[in-house]
Amino acid sequence: MNNQYFLRNLIAKPEFGPFVLLALEIAIFTAINPNFLSPQNISNTLAFTVELGLIALAMTLLMTAGEFDLSVGSVFGFAPVLMWTLFNSEIMPLGLAFFVALLVASLIGMANAWFVARLKIPSFLVTLGMLLVVRGTALFVTDGFPQRTWSAGGSFLADILVGSFNIGPFRIYMSLFWFVLAVLVLGYVLNRTKAGNWIQAAGGNPGAARARGVGVEKTKVALFMLSATLAGFSGIISSIRTSAANPNSGTGYELEVIAMVVIGGTALTGGRGTIIGTVLGIFILRTMRNGIIMVGVPGLAYNIFIGAIILGMMALHSWLERRHQAGT
Amino acid sequence: MAEELIRMENIGKFYGRVQALKDVNLVVNRREIVGLLGDNGAGKSTLIKVLSGAVPASSGDIYISGRKVKMKSTNDAIANGIETIYQDSALVPQLSIARNLFLGREPTIGPAILGRLDTAKMNEVSRELLKQVGISKNIPPDTPIGMLSGGERQAVAIARAMHFDSELIILDEPTNNLGVAETRGVLNFVRRARDTDHACILIAHNIHHVFQVVDRIVVMRHGQVVADNIDPKVTSVDEVERIITGMEEEALL
């Protein structure tokens, strides 16, 4: 009886479906191509996965509070462009340029929040507009050309952001450390803290939250700033690792990140979010991208699989939600 | 001699050019349940919003225990001991009973900067409160509000209002969409609130529900109070209905 109760509870959890899907993906890809689980492939996949993952983690909190941020991809491209422009023009040292770029990213988040919280414009429209403004600025400032980044090699900043080391046969980048740290901190904030309670309340029923004295607007401002700052941070990490700060980089990331979050089980309508689910969502999509290439499916077919996964997972989450509402 | 708790004096409220409230005076005494009645658009909800800090009054003053107060936000109202339970917007369905009960005033444990919720305390107090408002079923405090019945949700909202040192509990349509047994339960919670030294303002469309539980009835029409001392023990439902619709005045004309 107890076992049955445990099993039902386990299946009802939003993370259960994504977990099964990820396990299936890994099993199928490994069965077709054993190299899929090779240390080299895992190391390569992890390097970029965690960079995109940082944005998805912040987006989880924002979406739990009932908002979106479509400008993250453009901030991902803009922040490194700004940092390298400031540094290469000898306006300031690299460390200071790093902080200025993050500060500007957070101000972009604050501007998003101002339109959403103060002017009551839907975040979908606000951040769509901001996407164009930020991307356009990056292209204008650089004339559309990538910035030089080779002078980062050996600097302290490069070491702590993307330094790599080997653990056995695995090559691990420092970005994995930042990702794990973000998972722990944001997971703790969402599930264990007063701020997490406010985030869920702001998305679940903002009217009720306001009536209880919860600072719904302040909470959203903080989350928009977090989202943009982590997008900028992630873009800078990526630019140093790949030695390229391209004003066009990050194009389309916003949709991939939102897909990762909803596949993981965070409610699109707000009020309920899961960091563990997002971690699973991140790995589901990146494993799929890597796996279909490894097993010989043309890369151009990638979007077919991603679309199918999103539809399938949405159907599953909706079914679980209905069961939950019915109390079964 | 009744001890005065709330006094609203000459309250006016404009939405643009539309006057929603005109020189409204309302007094609520301690341990008194006041029924606020009126047709749609009579101004009941606006008056309650003013008293709960949700919208500012355009004119007039509010006194609590004789002290003049400013209601600029819901936080001001809560700080002054006024708790409002709105019809459907009082709770967050995705959050647990305990998290809803303490929403906005969550107890924390450990260093303040970590903001860690004291879940043990929240659960313990929640269990006690659920017992107090008479939810006899063994519902764990970590149950999401969305899984409770309409009556149980109202009970949770009332329990919350009673817990945080509130002196006045405003209930906006607490019996809407509830079954007979659940309505009876909610009205019992209101009586219990009075027994524990709380005053209540009860707004309900169903006059019979109001008659069952209130000490005094106030009627509003066209943004004004048209009767403020109706005793439900000596007045019939028909008479009150006539006052609400204005038929009383038409008969006199």
**A254 falls within a domain:** yes
Percent of chain B with pLDDT over 70: 94
Distance from the Cα of A200 to chain B's closest Cα (Å) equals 7
**A200 touches B: beta carbon within 8 Å:** yes
pLDDT confidence of residue A17: 86
Q: What is the mean pLDDT of residues B89-108?
A: 89
Q: Would the CB atoms of A193 and B114 count as touching at under 8 Å?
A: yes
Q: Domains in chain B, start-ordered, CATH in brackets?
A: 4-252 (3.40.50.300)
Indicate the helix (H) or strand (E) that contains A280. helix A275-294
- CATH code, A195: 1.10.3470
Q: What is the mean pLDDT of each run of 10 residues along chain A (328 residues)?
A: 71 84 93 92 89 96 96 96 91 93 98 95 96 95 81 76 86 92 97 96 92 91 98 94 88 92 90 95 92 85 85 83 62
**A299 touches B: beta carbon within 8 Å:** no
**A30 touches B: beta carbon within 8 Å:** no
**A6 falls within a domain:** no
B151 or A175, which is more confident = A175
**A327 touches B: beta carbon within 8 Å:** yes
Domain range spanning residue A255?
Answer: 14-321
The answer to whether residues A308 and A240 touch, using CB atoms and an 8 Å cutoff, is no
Give B7-47 pLDDT, tens digit per residue. Answer: 999 999 999 889 999 999 999 999 999 999 998 889 998 99
User: Which pTM does this prediction carry?
Assistant: 0.85
Percent of chain B with pLDDT over 90: 42
Best CA proximity match to B219, nearest among B227, B231, B211, B209? B227
Q: Would the CB atoms of A208 and B103 count as touching at under 8 Å?
A: yes
Decide the pairing of beta strands B108-109 and B116-117. antiparallel
Instruction: Find residues 3-32 of chain B whose CB sits inside 8 Å of chain A.
Output: none
Domains held by chain A: number: 1
Report chain A residues whose CB lies below 8 A from the CB of B146: 324-325
What is the number of CB-based contacts under 8 A between chain A and chain B? 79
Report chain A residues whose CB lies below 8 A from the CB of B116: 192-193
Instruction: Find residues 43-82 of chain B whose CB sits inside 8 Å of chain A.
Output: 52, 54, 73-75, 78
- Residue found by looking up tokens 């190391």 in the block: A43
The alpha-helical segments, DSSP class H, found in A33-122 are 39-64, 72-88, 94-113
Q: Would the CB atoms of B104 and A204 count as touching at under 8 Å?
A: no
Q: What is the mean pLDDT of residues B44-51?
A: 92
Q: Is the pLDDT of residue B82 over 70?
A: yes
**A7 falls within a domain:** no
DSSP strands (E only) in chain A: 164-167, 170-173
Sheet of B33-38, strand order: B82-85, B168-172, B199-203, B33-38, B216-221, B224-230
**A263 falls within a domain:** yes
pLDDT confidence of residue A327: 52
* Mean pLDDT over the full length of chain A: 90
**B120 touches A: beta carbon within 8 Å:** no
**B95 touches A: beta carbon within 8 Å:** yes
Helix (H, G, I), strand (E, B) or coil at B236: coil
Q: Which of A192, A213, A267 sits opposite B78 (nearest CB)?
A: A213
Q: Which of B52, B99, B146 sits opposite A197 (nearest CB)?
A: B99
pLDDT confidence of residue A147: 80
pLDDT confidence of residue A202: 96
**A208 touches B: beta carbon within 8 Å:** yes
Q: Which of B54, B95, B115 sits opposite A204 (nearest CB)?
A: B95
**A328 falls within a domain:** no
**A253 falls within a domain:** yes
Distance from the Cα of A85 to chain B's closest Cα (Å) equals 36
**A235 falls within a domain:** yes
pLDDT confidence of residue B183: 80
Q: Would the CB atoms of A200 and B95 count as touching at under 8 Å?
A: yes
Beta bridge partners of B169: B83, B200
Q: Tell me which range, A7-11, A318-322, B94-98, B206-210, is most confidently predicted by mean pLDDT.
A: B94-98
Q: Would the CB atoms of A197 and B117 count as touching at under 8 Å?
A: yes
Give B57-66 pLDDT, tens digit per residue. Answer: 999 999 999 9
Q: Which two tokens stand for residue B10?
A: 């000459």
Q: Would the CB atoms of A212 and B103 count as touching at under 8 Å?
A: yes
pLDDT confidence of residue A99: 96
Q: Would the CB atoms of A208 and B91 count as touching at under 8 Å?
A: yes
pLDDT confidence of residue A328: 46
Q: Would the CB atoms of B92 and A195 count as touching at under 8 Å?
A: no
pLDDT confidence of residue B8: 95
**A42 falls within a domain:** yes
B65: burial class by Cβ within 10 Å (0-12, 13-18, 19+)?
middle
